[in-house]
A and B are shown apart, each in its own frame.
Chain A
Amino acid sequence: MINSIILSYITFVYFGSFMLYLFMMVNGRDIFGRLATIVTIVGFAVQTIAIVLRWMESYSLGIGHAPFSNLYESLIFFAWTVILLYLIMEWRTKNRTLGAFVTPLAFLALAYASFSPNVRSHIQPLIPALKSNWLISHVITCFFGYAAFGLSFGISIMYLLKRLDNDDRENLFLKLIPGKGVLDELNYQMVVIGFLMLTLGIITGSVWAHSAWGTYWSWDPKETWSLITWLIYASVLHSRMVRGWKGKKIAILCFIGFSCVLFTYFGVNYLAGLHSYAKS
């Protein structure tokens, strides 16, 4: 199980990059930022290798399947998508401040996966219901959606912090956060990506459920909570595009939206339902 050992070390790598991003924000030295990017990229590359190794290992065990089948694997993949989306964004914006708000998500997901006694890390064979080509498309779309909402969450926090900033205030941390208009725009982009991905995730899930359980929608708690999340972000889009809401209101709605994402991901495990294999 070399892959899970590597993955548990990457927890610390992402923690390191979080600290470096934070140093950069606190003392404003660019060198920390550049180091943080390098550490994050290295961590991401090694994590990618570990995921591929895990995939290969499942085949050598004779139970080959994509590593998206239980809570452990989903947490690993969640961290991976968050870092991937963040790195793309850093590269596009040439700005590193979001790193301090997003790397903790990846670090916490990996820490939970690697060190919680409730999460089993060994490769399990797929139960018949999960043996479907829809597994890969369903999980990938859902988790890119979650990751985009995670980034939107980070940006919302930045927005709410930036509101504390003003000309009289000599706070480097707040000064380094980009302007409110840019944050609002970026937040909006992330919501659009997340909403599109979540919609695709719900649709692929429905198609799959239709062939596995006989019904495309059964009001299973996970389904229902993904719908709740969808409804929240749909109202974010409507309130912004039609009502013209911006800034603080949107940031707060995105905050609520991401809480729904987290509940869809973890909370429903405490409610009975059909997605039981995602619990451990």
Chain B
Amino acid sequence: MMQAEWSNLLMGFDLQFDVIHAIRHLFVAGFLPFPAGSTRSKLYNIMTSSKTNKKSNALWRFFSSVKLTIVLLIILAIASIAGTLIPQQGQGAVQFAKSLSPEWFRFFSSLNLFDMYHSLWFRILLGFLGLNLIICSIDRFSGSWKRFSTIPRPDRAKPFELLPPEQTFFVQTKIENPVLSIGRILQKRYKRTQNKEAGHDRFFFGEKGGYSHFGVYLIHMSVLIILVGGLIGSFFGFEAYVNILEGGKIDTVTLRKGMSPLKLGFEVRCDKFTVDFYENGAPKEYRSDLTFFVNGKEAEKRSALVNHPIQFKGVTFYQASYGKLPGKKIRLKIAKQASKDDITTLLIEPGRPIQLPEKEGKFIVVDVKGDLMGLGAAVEVLIQPAQGEEMYFWVFQNPQIVRKRLPAPMARSPKFNASAFKPYTFFLDHLESAYYTGLQVNKDPGVNMVWIGCFMMVAGFFVTFFTSHRKIWVRVSEEESGTRISVAGTASKNPVGFQRELENLTNDLKDMVKSE
């Protein structure tokens, strides 16, 4: 009772498999041994006999084994797990490497475990999977092709053995021209229909969905295409980044691998960088207005936003990050200790020597920090007096914080004393900061191949999981008092859905014959 109820589900979902069918029909072709002497085993022997020389080759057997596929999938899974536990690349990997003993470090780095997804052995594993896929597919393809292309004889008796009563009916008339009436219905619904007369019987055959045998090759090919697309990307593409100050122009980016510089062959200027914030202060959107120059001439103006990259000459620019760089312009005040009124305000750029107010020498702002040691903005000043020794000291925007936070001896050290060069005291009045945009700069000629592969994979899933090769036979038997019509068939998948199809076909034939 319950079994019957549960099987109702199978009708609705239309995607289940008869596993026995799947095993026997769909893939095996010589992989699983059939009992010797069975008709099936003879059939498959015929199918695969052309490959006996290949089959005897141990290497071929090794790579055509699905056991190997499963083992490779599991090894890849375990290796990937390890890769998520061991920090890969970047800061984390460096820190982790430092914490290892020299022996372990040698072991880890010899196996490339700090960047394992790009290591040779990981690629060899993927290569094995690829080879396994190719050879498995070649090994089984001829079997699938036979199952697709072979048209069975229409006058077979076997399909009609043990026919359920729903698939046969009797009419008390003689059907004048079954080829015209029944044949036409079948032609409409099925492909490659055939018919044959045998004694008092006329047999019909039709099929559809034969292509479902090839879904699995579509999937396997898609995996290969994705792998090749990935390889093309890693050999002929690059991943790099660059920070451009607002108003600045670059022609070189830094490769993520090895941190080496790469000339783009054109220039990029960041005309404007804008960032919007939500009310709670979180960033809402950022955007860089970029201008591209080829040979010094303006070629294109485009804007990069997060999730909306732009492409120029095959190179893609992604809005990745942003930041503020202090110190395009610095406003310094210099006071003579003697009089409070004698204050000079200077707007200066770092690195350029400036005359001291009374020509006692020069000073240069040698370093600018937006935040020095958590004490706020500061600039480092180098004094080059006309007479005497050079001296360096930091000038903070907020000297009170320095006095409060640092222990007294440190706060009084000459390095933090803005009055170190007598008789002057320096004040940092204002640091003009500029935005810079952080761009990810990539070239990946393999990406379209990856998308094609993905599309093929999904298409292949639909063919493999949701279609089946259905073959039907119809027998029209003339009997003394009328005609008996029987409908039989086999399907490579979804036996319950197919059962319903057979019953529908029987009913439609019944209606047609009765209305004549």
- Give A contacts to B, CB under 8 Å: 63, 89, 92-95, 124-125, 127-129, 131-132, 178-179, 181-182, 185-186, 188-189, 192-193, 195-196, 199-200, 203, 206-208, 210-217, 219, 221, 224-225, 227-228, 231-232, 234-235, 238-244, 246, 268, 271-272
Contacts and interface: CB of A to CB of B under 8 A. Distances in A.
A133 B320 CA distance: 18
A92 B8 contact: yes
A200 B26 CA distance: 25
Contacts of B81: 225, 228
Interface of B: 2-3, 5-10, 12-13, 15-17, 19, 22-23, 26-28, 31-32, 66-67, 69-70, 73-74, 76-77, 80-81, 83-85, 87-88, 92, 117, 230, 239, 278, 280, 282-286, 305-309, 316, 318-320, 440, 442, 444, 447, 450-451, 454, 457-458, 461, 465
Majority DSSP secondary structure for residues of A touching B: helix
11 contacts: A95-B6, A127-B282, A128-B283, A131-B307, A178-B6, A212-B306, A224-B80, A228-B80, A231-B74, A241-B27, A268-B84
A93 B465 contact: no
A178 B23 contact: no
B66 A242 contact: yes
A214 B16 CA distance: 39
Contacts of B447: 210, 216
A215 B76 contact: no
A199 B457 contact: yes
* 8 A-B pairs closest in CB distance: A128-B306, A214-B440, A214-B318, A182-B6, A92-B9, A231-B77, A93-B9, A221-B84
Q: Which of A178, A214, A216, A228 has the most CB of B within 10 A?
A: A214
B123 to A, nearest CB: 13
Given A213-B320, A235-B73, A242-B66, 20 more contacts: A124-B282, A125-B278, A179-B2, A182-B6, A186-B9, A188-B16, A193-B15, A196-B465, A200-B458, A211-B318, A212-B306, A212-B307, A219-B117, A240-B19, A241-B22, A241-B27, A242-B31, A243-B32, A244-B23, A271-B85
A202 B47 CA distance: 38
A223 to B, nearest CB: 9
A224 B7 CA distance: 37
A181 B66 CA distance: 24
A185 B16 contact: yes
Contacts of B3: 178-179, 181-182
B13 A227 contact: no
Contacts of B308: 211
Contacts of A95: 2, 5-6
A240 B19 CA distance: 8
B285 A128 contact: yes
Contact of A63 (B8, B70, B278): B278
Given A212-B307, A221-B84, A228-B81, A242 B28 contact: yes
A240 B18 CA distance: 11
A173 to B, nearest CB: 14
Given A94-B5, A214-B442, A203 B280 contact: no
Contact of A214 (B27, B32, B320, B450): B320
Contacts of A219: 83, 88, 117
Contacts of B285: 128, 131
A217 B87 CA distance: 17
A271 to B, nearest CB: 6
A124 B230 CA distance: 36
B461 A196 contact: yes
A92 B9 CA distance: 5
A251 to B, nearest CB: 14
A171 B22 CA distance: 35
A207 B19 contact: no
Contacts of B286: 128
A92 B282 contact: no
Given A228-B81, A242-B23, A189 B13 contact: yes
Contacts of B451: 207
A153 to B, nearest CB: 18
Contacts of A217: 230
A81 to B, nearest CB: 17
